[in-house]
């Protein structure tokens, strides 16, 4: 077998060496997050600094448990029957999760506490002080916030909607989420703030529904998806309220965004049979291809489903198929790796993508 490097591999190696030196590849890391051969381990949230990943594990008999991964402690189960951890504060010190039949738990250094009147949590703010999600207002299930000092606050409905759910919150308390309507396919992404209240985000031309799943630190960029009547979706980014398509991976029929770096410049999600990472300069690239270009051993993992990214864009996580189960994974890039990641993505993938074609909607 020839030992000659491919041009693609040579470009990648050159860029990485320039940025990090000759031992660069040793600085990148990839790890599978799994308890055992028959225990699906599904990541559901990550701290802003990338130090903590949280999620849920399900055994074949139906037993579920919340878990947390840290670099120092590894993968640790909470020992809470049928609980799932959904999110963490920026430094990972506060974890929020869901309990059976509706309800919220918080895990801090002092132990576990419960919030009975917030039925369906979705995550927690970077400072660990505000939980967001959905609970009833007496008539409808509505997007809601909870703080220790103020309790639950209902954010209301869009006109004609039957329910709303908060999916993310910015550093300046801009909340984004999805409103549901009674007609089939009736979903609409919204943004809420103290000054503006709840407003529907504009639709992409040719699309009749949308969902919002992530928001930037300053609230100016929202990520999610736009949806057609036929239920086909495309990953979407709103910048100052204006929607922009992120496209799809080559050969895919759909895409959706699940997480975003704090400045809104890097977005991850799923498209067809592979998770993607997107930036304005590189466009949409397969996560697996990118990790392989960095010399990481990802053998056996099928990268599909929810993907997560840290606030600085240097840590990626998500779920993936591994044999007959779903497991979690985490990949880290040492600072100043973000700029190099996009340089590698541009040099390595852009020529191929241009040659093979790229579907987008403007």
One digit per residue, the tens of pLDDT, for the chain of length 362 reads 444 443 444 444 444 444 444 444 447 899 999 887 777 899 999 999 999 999 998 654 444 789 999 989 999 999 888 899 999 999 999 999 999 888 999 999 999 999 989 999 999 999 999 999 999 988 999 999 999 999 999 999 999 999 999 999 999 999 999 999 998 779 999 999 999 999 999 999 999 999 999 999 999 999 999 998 776 899 999 999 999 999 999 999 999 999 999 999 999 999 998 999 999 888 999 999 999 988 899 999 999 999 999 999 999 999 999 988 899 999 997 765 554 555 555 455 554 444 444 333 33
- Which pLDDT score is estimated for 340? 54
pTM for the whole structure = 0.87
- Give me the residue label for tokens 């799943």: 213
Q: From CA 310, how far away is CA 326, in angstroms rounded?
A: 21
One DSSP character per residue, 104-140 reads EEEEETTEEEEETT--EEEEE-TTS-EEEEEEE-SSS
Residue 238 pairs with which residues in a beta bridge? 222, 243
Closest Cα partner for 216 from 165, 178, 267, 179?
267
Q: From CA 110, how far away is CA 31, in angstroms rounded?
A: 29
Q: What end-to-end distance do the CA atoms of the chain give, in Å?
A: 46
């Amino acid at each position: 077998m020839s030992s000659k490097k491919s041009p693609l591999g040579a470009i990648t190696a050159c860029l990485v060496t320039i940025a990090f030196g000759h031992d660069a590849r040793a600085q990148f890391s990839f790890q599978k997050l799994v308890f055992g051969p028959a225990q699906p381990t599904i990541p559901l949230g990550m701290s802003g600094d990338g130090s903590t990943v949280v999620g849920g594990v399900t055994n074949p008999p139906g037993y579920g448990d919340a878990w947390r991964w840290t670099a120092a402690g590894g993968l640790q189960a909470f020992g809470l029957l049928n609980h799932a951890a959904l999110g963490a504060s920026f430094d990972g010190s506060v974890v929020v999760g869901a309990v059976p039949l509706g309800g919220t738990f918080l895990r801090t250094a002092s132990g576990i506490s419960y919030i009975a009147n917030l039925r369906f949590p979705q995550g927690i703010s970077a400072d660990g002080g505000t939980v967001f999600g959905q609970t009833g207002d007496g008539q409808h299930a509505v997007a809601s916030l909870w703080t220790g000092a103020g309790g639950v606050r209902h954010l209301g409905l869009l006109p004609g909607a039957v329910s709303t759910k908060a999916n993310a919150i910015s550093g300046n308390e801009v909340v984004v989420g999805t409103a549901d309507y009674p007609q089939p396919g009736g979903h609409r992404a919204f943004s809420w703030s103290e000054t503006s209240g709840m407003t529907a985000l504009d639709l992409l031309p040719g699309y009749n529904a949308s969902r919002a799943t992530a928001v930037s630190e300053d609230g100016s960029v929202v990520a999610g998806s736009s949806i057609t009547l036929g239920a086909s979706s495309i990953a979407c980014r709103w910048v100052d309220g204006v929607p922009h398509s992120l496209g799809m991976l080559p050969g895919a029929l759909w895409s959706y965004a699940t997480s975003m770096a704090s400045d809104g410049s890097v977005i991850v999600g799923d498209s067809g049979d592979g998770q993607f990472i997107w930036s304005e300069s590189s466009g949409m690239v397969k996560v697996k291809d990118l990790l392989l270009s960095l010399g990481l051993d990802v053998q056996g993992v099928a990268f599909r489903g929810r993907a997560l990214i840290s606030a600085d864009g240097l840590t990626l996580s998500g779920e993936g198929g591994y044999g007959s189960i779903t497991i979690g994974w985490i990949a880290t890039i040492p600072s100043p790796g973000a700029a190099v990641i996009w340089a590698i993505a541009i040099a390595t993938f852009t020529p191929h993508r241009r040659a093979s074609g790229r579907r987008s909607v403007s």
